[in-house]
Amino acid sequence: MAQEVKYTEDNIKSLEWYEHIRLRPGMYIGKLGDGTTADDGIYVLLKEIMDNSIDEFVMGNGKNVEIVIKDGTVTVRDYGRGIPLGKVIDCVSKINTGGKYDSRAFKKSVGLNGVGTKAVNALSSFFRVESFREGEMKAAEFGKGEITQDFKIAKSTEKNGTLMSFIPDESIFVNYQYRSQHIERLLWNYCYLNAGLTIIFNGQKFKSENGLRDLLAANMTEDPLYNAIHLKSDDIEVAITHTNSYGEEYYSFVNGQYTTQGGTHQAAFREAYVKVIRDFFKKDYEAVDVRSGIVAAVAIKVIEPVFESQTKTKLGSNEIEPNGKSVKAFILEFLQKELDNFLHRNPEIAQSLLKKILQSERERKELAGIAKLARERAKKSNLHNKKLRDCKVHYADKSDLANATTLFITEGDSASGSITISRNVQTQAVFSLKGKPLNTYGLTKKVVYENEEFNLLQAALDIEDGLDSLRYNNVVIATDADVDGMHIRLLMITFFLQFFPDLVKSGHLYVLSTPLFRVRNKKETIYCYSDLERQHAIQKLGNKPEITRFKGLGEISPDEFKFFIGDNIRLEPVVITKDIHIKDILEFYMGKNTPDRQDFIIRNLRVEKDEIVEKKEIETEPETE
């Protein structure tokens, strides 16, 4: 018989503000992470401090922000008005305290919840705030949210503004490391959205003269079909162009916040753009043809925005301001006037748009019959059930990390079998490849339907008409860490870049990292993902431990796999940076063999030596990639 649990006054607990943040950090900053991906918690901490400095700039106070990250310590100095000295401690340590509740001071701010800086304070092992106002300063220091030093107001020769320093708590952010590429993208976005703002990061200057037009130019990975359309008005700015790529690519912002998951403003822009184009050409083109290949940025300002999560990655507001015009009507009205006028004044760009629409329409109609036959063929042979072991839950908002869903793309029956047995059937699915897939570089989308595996994979992901119906948060390529596995990995990345580049650019594509070695003795087992980790494990365990080299995923037992694809999963994101031109890189690596590629392979040839302990001797085996 189960023991009765008493429920009394002693069961009721009250937590300090910082205790609650530290107990449930995901509620405040999303996922924790170690700095590998741009939405990891350490970048959210930086962003929360930066948002306050940007809000000061937007209000006309201070044109420069200085950031230094050194030895794990982050320092941000702005030259705004500075926090009122008598409220410095309250603003960084009392929930629901801040100037942003007063719309007279911060009309269109991101940080409306009074939590951001407090979350940084609570999740830092060291936090210091300094405010400078009219020749005086106030400073305070904290450790994990608790105040450790309360300095008296003193005289100062510093310019007005605020300086905040923090060190992320390593007990929460384990083995974290700031990566400059993620920080630089964050800072560039601030500059694109705030013309005239200068950010200095570790001595490097960030400044934009042309706003969202600069953003498109910096992030384009293919040549545009025409010079970007750039339109601005009060509370809205858009930039639009097209490429010959498939899919759609958007950068959307609200009050300076990069809404990576879109929201009501992005949906409204997509709908309004189609309507204006149809009206301009006086023809009811299919929306998919109008938007095919579009690359666009849209930024709006909203009074008291409502986001769907604390990390503010998706706008939920339906109105521009309380009791005001809807987001949908506001964006449509703007485009109906400004975009229509632009196209009438620039007939050459209008013709480029029309040519792209007609090209997309022709290709879609050519594919329609092939796609129908492919779907019927797959349905008749019931191939979906043979290739896909589906999960029970499908795509979840990325802010709901507990229910994020994953599709593992594996090679061969043994690997797919191990993952299938080990996976979480609620949120993890497996798609099994048979041998090496086709090199799709230079082929048309017709091959997606004619090739059985690609057609079934597209159907499993449900991305035939774009990412709106994508069934999984993460698409993970899981191949052996050998030459054949690397080749399959490259072929799959080529497939997605060729036909579904927006899947990659939206941060959905990953590569699964699995251990290369198992080093163990009678007391401990260490899994190693590199030769360096193996060497450290040997040193730690000593006395010639048993070393196993995993040659393929099929050699990893289901019990071990459960460890590798569970809480300890290591995923390497496939990232397309602004300096990578997709067409050029695919042509170089996946096109016809050339002397340049042969020279590249020879220059970068790497020989790895695997150490295998057998009969008290070390035997080496060279492997070439």
Residue 293: give its domain's CATH number. 3.30.230.10
Q: Does residue 542 lie in a domain region?
A: no
To the nearest 10 degrees (0 to 180), the angle between helices 212-219 and 180-193 is 150
HSE value, Cβ hemisphere, 13 Å, CA-based, for 270: 23
CATH number at residue 401: 3.40.50.670
Tens digits of per-residue pLDDT, 412-428? 777 788 888 989 999 99
In a shared domain, residues 223 and 201? no
Residue located via tokens 């596995």:
485
Contact criterion met (CB below 8 Å) for 437 and 452? no
Distance CA 509, CA 376 (A): 28
Question: Can you tell me the mean pLDDT for 446-460?
Answer: 88
How much is the pLDDT for 242? Answer: 96
End-of-domain residue from the set 295, 329, 364:
364
Q: In a 3-state reduction of DSSP, which class is residue 500?
A: coil
- How buried is 118 (Cβ within 10 angstroms: 0-12 exposed, 13-18 middle, 19+ buried)? buried
Residues with Cβ < 8 Å from 102, sequence gap 6 or more?
none
Q: In a 3-state reduction of DSSP, which class is residue 422?
A: helix
Q: What are the DSSP E strand ranges found in 5-72?
A: 64-70
At residue 89, does pLDDT exceed 70? yes
DSSP letters of 444-474?
-THHHHHSHHHHHHHHHHT-TT-GGG---SE
In a shared domain, residues 85 and 172? yes
At residue 608, does pLDDT exceed 50? no
Contact criterion met (CB below 8 Å) for 467 and 502? yes
Q: Does residue 305 lie in a domain region?
A: yes
Number of structural domains, the chain?
A: 3
Tens digits of per-residue pLDDT, 39-85? 889 998 999 999 889 888 888 888 999 999 998 899 999 999 999 99
Q: Does residue 619 lie in a domain region?
A: no
CATH number at residue 124: 3.30.565.10
In a shared domain, residues 354 and 420? no
In a shared domain, residues 140 and 240? no
Among the residue ranges 164-168, 176-180, 364-368, 550-554, the one predicted with the least confidence is: 550-554
At residue 589, does pLDDT exceed 80? no
Neighbours of 415 (CB within 10 A): 25
End-of-domain residue from the set 301, 329, 364:
364
pTM of model > 0.75: no
In a shared domain, residues 560 and 470? yes
Backbone angles phi, psi at 99, to 5 degrees: -75, -10
Per the prediction, the chain carries an average pLDDT of 83
How much is the pLDDT for 208? Answer: 93
In a shared domain, residues 155 and 242? no
Q: Does residue 480 lie in a domain region?
A: yes
In a shared domain, residues 60 and 183? yes
In a shared domain, residues 489 and 507? yes
Q: Does residue 537 lie in a domain region?
A: no
Distance CA 248, CA 506 (A): 10
Q: Does residue 539 lie in a domain region?
A: no
Contact criterion met (CB below 8 Å) for 303 and 285? no
| Residue numbers of the domain that contains 353 | 212-364
Q: Which residue has the higher pLDDT, 376 or 522?
A: 522
User: Of 379, 278, 269, 400, which is closest to residue 331 (Cα–Cα)?
Assistant: 269
Residue located via tokens 């191939």:
383
Distance CA 147, CA 22 (A): 15
pLDDT band at 606 (very low <50, low <70, confident <90, very high): low
Contact criterion met (CB below 8 Å) for 461 and 472? yes
Q: Does residue 614 lie in a domain region?
A: no
End-of-domain residue from the set 206, 240, 259:
206
At residue 310, does pLDDT exceed 90? no
In a shared domain, residues 336 and 387? no
User: Of 120, 115, 80, which is closest to residue 100 (Cα–Cα)?
Assistant: 115
In a shared domain, residues 165 and 220? no
In a shared domain, residues 98 and 240? no
Question: Can you tell me the mean pLDDT for 221-240?
Answer: 92
pLDDT band at 616 (very low <50, low <70, confident <90, very high): very low
Contact criterion met (CB below 8 Å) for 469 and 462? yes
Q: Does residue 597 lie in a domain region?
A: no
Distance CA 188, CA 69 (A): 16
In a shared domain, residues 50 and 197? yes
Distance CA 76, CA 61 (A): 16
